[in-house]
Each structure stands twice: as C-alpha cells, then as structure tokens.
Homo-oligomer: A and B are copies of this chain.
Amino acid sequence: MIAVDWGTSSARAYRLAPDGAVLERREGAGGILRVPEGGFPAALAGMVGPWLADGETRVLLSGMVGSRQGWQEAPYLACPAGLDDLAGAVEPVPFAEATVRLVPGLSAEDASGVPEVMRGEEVQVFGALARSDEDALLCLPGSHAKWVRVAGGRIAGFSTSLTGEAFAALKDHTILGRMMTGTAEIGPAFEAGIARAGEEGGLLHHLFGTRTLGLFGRLAAEDAASYLSGLLIGHEVSAAMTTPASVRLVGSGPLMALYGRAIVLRGGEAIAGDPDAAARGLALIGERTAWM
C-alpha cells in the first residue's frame, strides 16, 4: 500500500509492506497550496508513479488534501472516533492508475461548545498510540498546536491553540521583534518564559514584559525569541494540561524539544513519539479499509 500524508505546506509519501513497515519514503514536491487547479492526479503520479509502475494498487491519503482547498472535500467525522470509524468513512477518489481512498478529518466541540477540526493529525495520533485500547493525552506542536484526548483507543476530543502562528505574528509584526536577533532554543531564557507563564497577570501582560526586560538589560536580544516562545508554549501547556500528566508528543523538529521541556517544567512527563506516526496510522487504517 502507498500512504500519503498531504498537508497544506508539505507532502510525505510512504511505500508500506503488508505488515505496515516503511519500505521507502519520498518528500513530495509540496503541500496542497502548490498544486494547481485540477492538478492533483498529476501531483500524485509525480510523487508515487514509480511505486505504481512496480505493482502497488492502493493509495491512502490523509491531511488537508481532503479539504475544500484540496483534491476532494471529505466531510469531517465527529468525535469520539476510532480506527474502525475512520476506515469505515474513507472516501473514494477517482484516479486512473490505482484505487485511491481519502481519510476524513475529525470534528469535535470543546467544553463550551466551540467547534474544533483536524485533518491529518488524527492519523498521526493513531500511529503514535502503543496499544489499540489506550487512554492517552497527546500533543502535536505546530502553527496550530493540538492536544488530543484518547479514551479506550478512540479520539474523545481535542483542543487547538494558535501558538505557532501567534509566535510568528508577534515576533515579526510587533515591537517585541525589534529587540530579537535569535531563534527559539532550549535554555535559561526559554525556561524563564515558561516560569513567567505560571505567574499572575495574563498572557497579554506577560508579552509586554518581553519588551521591558529587554529595556532594563535583563533579557538579551539573542535570548528574547526563546523567552517569547517559552511564554507562549508555557501558557498553552498550562491551559491544556490542567493536571500534570504523561503526554505523548507527536511530530518532529525543534518544537518537540521545546514542548517536552515545557511539559516537564509544568510537572508532566513527555514521551517522544515516532516521527513516522502518519505512516503507521495510515497502515492501521488501510488494514481496516474495504478497498473494493
């Protein structure tokens, strides 16, 4: 089977063995925003053509490729939802050279009834679980960071925070960025931001402190981005992990270490997940899918 995790800004294709093991992988040309109108069949063929020529007949897609801006819109499936629910809801996509199915995204509501959506992360979550009946709390860092509650092996609910996008907007488009020279890194400044997030005054007040600490020589320009990152991730973790918990981190890249440190400093435990969680999740859904 071929598995493709096709998001807004990137695409990752995997050729999988019958037992789900990754045989080969390819980074695609780019996310759905780089695919021209009507260009999805050609984009898929460009990514996985050699594997199709070599005899693969099934392709399972997940991510924003199933959104209105993607190849074909797949309606959200409501939580709670498990692997069997996702496999039972895959959508057929017309494609000449193979049988293509699309995994739908999930929707939920938070405690106040405000809607939540994800596309692609649900597959990574199932790929990151150790057991099919697990209870777990997972965190997927990113522009729109997600915290996902799994109960009995099904996604019970989730919550999204605009942390990554807010960081970029505040750094690049407010006075805070004028005093910043570096990138966000683990270290004393990041940890000071995490600690600050636990103090009174609220996030909007804490943001201003990034400037005054710099004005008074108590925060160096090269540390300011780390401090700001610690503030934002600290506020996110405090709101999402209301009691110290064991958190499974899903994803890859420098954010994983930052979130891991923030979770530990807030009293929790962080478990690093498999960076190929999407491939494993698609394999598990593919096994349960009625392909004919």
* Residues of A in contact with B (beta carbons under 8 Å apart): 110-112, 114-117, 144, 159-163, 165-166, 168-170, 172-176, 196, 199-205, 207-209, 211-213, 215-216, 218, 232, 235-236, 238-240
Report Cα–Cα, A201/B110, bound state, in Å.
9
Q: How far is the CB of A115 from chain B (nearest CB, A)?
A: 4
Contact A205 to B160, CB < 8 A, known contacts A165-B174, A166-B174? yes
Is chain A's interface secondary structure helix, strand, loop, or mixed overall? helix
Q: How far is the CB of A168 from chain B (nearest CB, A)?
A: 8
Question: Are A114 and B212 closer than 8 Å at their CB atoms?
Answer: yes
Residue of B whose beta carbon sits closest to that of A177: B169
Report Cα–Cα, A239/B204, bound state, in Å.
9
List 15 additional A-B contacts (Cβ < 8 Å) besides A162-B205, A163-B204, A172-B173. Answer: A111-B199, A111-B200, A115-B213, A161-B208, A162-B211, A168-B173, A168-B174, A169-B170, A200-B239, A202-B235, A202-B238, A202-B239, A202-B240, A204-B235, A205-B239
Copies of this chain in the oligomer: 2
Report Cα–Cα, A116/B208, bound state, in Å.
9
Report Cα–Cα, A232/B169, bound state, in Å.
15
List the 4 shortest-distance A-B pairs measured between CB atoms, nearest first: A202-B239, A161-B204, A162-B207, A169-B169
Report Cα–Cα, A191/B40, bound state, in Å.
43
Q: What B residues does A235 contact at CB under 8 A? A: 202-204
Question: Are A170 and B159 closer than 8 Å at their CB atoms?
Answer: no
Q: What B residues does A112 contact at CB under 8 A? A: 196, 199-201
